[in-house]
Structure 1
């Protein structure tokens, strides 16, 4: 079982491989990745159920330090760079119908956003400079590098409070949340970075401002793709730039859908005018569906991630006393795009959670 679990995390590579195969089959086959993610994985989740077991405390250190688990994330980093280059190239040289263009871009984003940003999120929390560098590279490929600053220094500090752009409010639709989280999250990243430089006595308008680089690098990367392919083909091509930013849009929108799901309606209790209670497992929705957690490197055990942000994905714990989602992220993300269905499913669950846990501050938002 232990060996099977270790192999299971390589399942994430199924999604881009399926996208590649589907592309060459063409036509309706381009829907395969979407059907796999939003129908087959949830179906398998419903059959296999949840894995409520945790790594024994005596083994946590050994498992956490096992290089194998880091190796998978390193492999993904290099794979995603290659995958993006391949996808931009074939999008450029092949004549595709509008249907094929749209479905292919979305299918690619399920890898770059669904898996890639998840890996970037995992690596961005670590102390290793190499892992943090890989995180930034992955975020560059989806034009969302400011997430590295805002998520670590903004979201994890302000999560489940009205000050956090990435915490969805009760009765707030995903579409309203998307606009607020995208715009205010970017603005917040600039504010955090400017304050960092101010403390060091460095001007915000300098090469030391990471947000300047984080804003420019995706454009530089897209430009290099276009220039490289233009030189190779012997004529100028603009399609790589269009493709790159289109898949980026769907990729970071998928991230925001996950953000929407993770903290919906959960608020921390205010201690005084300037302080909130410490972040605890009950401030995040938890999901321990075994199959979707393999694909998402246990991101769905989000309660433990916020409680212990530096913990590696392979040792994240399930909490029985944390609010539980009715299904894994693929199902919940799809549901989030239909506000009335989302409210119908989640509001009663949130209300029941509040009634059973009166010490929380969710009702006061």
Structure 2
């Protein structure tokens, strides 16, 4: 819902949902950073070939917050506001998470805080696993447009239903603000060998098996989809 920048209520609900994961940066960096930088070496949400998920998780989490602050700094400068102000969406996001944390303490004391933080970490892990496998090993030349072949897709029915068609990821990147029920599969786009639900367990518990499984897929991507410049980046 954070993609729906022109629908204020959707955007607000999406930001409050992200506050439950203490991840205010995602609503900013993902929309204004990742969707522009997908496939680039500088994109925190594009996992490099052979990169460990747990290293990716730490790197992506830190860089998303850093980039979120950079994006807000540039936006606020253009509007004549200071970085430390009520107009800063990063600060407002942190404030939402703090309010939820305070509510958890009020309801359940120290135990409530532990439960809330545990759920937040689990949700963040789940989110970054999905990010990891959606673009794993794919590359894009800076300055070239984002294309359907820069995302991994799957048409497995159960994954599509439970994840609101996020599995149709190439279309999502083509029209980021489009409602999930309007997303359609791209027959010619790169396909994951399994659905999201199976793959995320491989990434989390058997990352070495996931990377080995994806090697032939990446070679096929190189031979079938990659431009000559992208082949150079992959080598």
When normalised by structure 2's length, the TM-score is: 0.94
Seen in structure 2, the aligned counterparts of structure 1 residues 147 and 362 have a Cα distance that, compared at 3 Å, is farther
In 2, the alpha carbon distance for the partners of 1:178 and 1:168 equals 9
The match for 1:199 among 67, 78, 103 is: 78
* Match status 1:364 vs 2:225: no
Show structure 2 runs of 5+ residues with no match: none
In 2, the alpha carbon distance for the partners of 1:140 and 1:189 equals 15
Equivalent residues of 2:149, 2:225 under 8 A apart:
no
In 1, the alpha carbon distance for the partners of 2:14 and 2:49 equals 31
In 2, the alpha carbon distance for the partners of 1:207 and 1:310 equals 26
Q: Which has the higher contact order (CA 8 A, sep 6+)?
A: 1
Secondary structure of 2:24 counterpart: coil
Counterpart in 1 of 2:218? 350
In 1, the alpha carbon distance for the partners of 2:136 and 2:202 equals 13
When normalised by structure 1's length, the TM-score is: 0.61
Counterpart in 1 of 2:27? 148
Counterpart in 2 of 1:124? 2
Is the deviation greater in 349-358 or in 279-288?
349-358
Secondary structure of 1:238 counterpart: helix
Q: Tell which structure's C-alpha radius of gyration is larger.
A: 1
Counterpart in 1 of 2:170? 303
Counterpart in 1 of 2:181? 314
Equivalent residues of 1:125, 1:309 under 8 A apart:
yes
What does 1:1-365 correspond to in 2, within 5 Å?
A: 123-126=1-4, 127-227=6-106, 229=107, 237-270=109-142, 275=143, 277-337=144-204, 338-359=206-227, 361=230, 363-365=232-234
In 2, the alpha carbon distance for the partners of 1:161 and 1:223 equals 38
In 2, the alpha carbon distance for the partners of 1:352 and 1:244 equals 42
CA drift at 1:256: 0.3
Seen in structure 2, the aligned counterparts of structure 1 residues 146 and 210 have a Cα distance that, compared at 3 Å, is same
Equivalent residues of 1:265, 1:362 under 8 A apart:
no
In 2, the alpha carbon distance for the partners of 1:336 and 1:238 equals 32
Equivalent residues of 1:266, 1:362 under 8 A apart:
no
CA drift at 1:216: 2.7
CA drift at 1:241: 0.9
Equivalent residues of 2:153, 2:170 under 8 A apart:
yes
Counterpart in 2 of 1:113? none
Seen in structure 2, the aligned counterparts of structure 1 residues 358 and 222 have a Cα distance that, compared at 3 Å, is closer
Show structure 1 runs of 5+ residues with no match: 1-122, 231-236
Give RMSD over aligned pairs.
1.4
CA drift at 1:358: 4.1
Is the deviation greater in 160-169 or in 137-146?
137-146
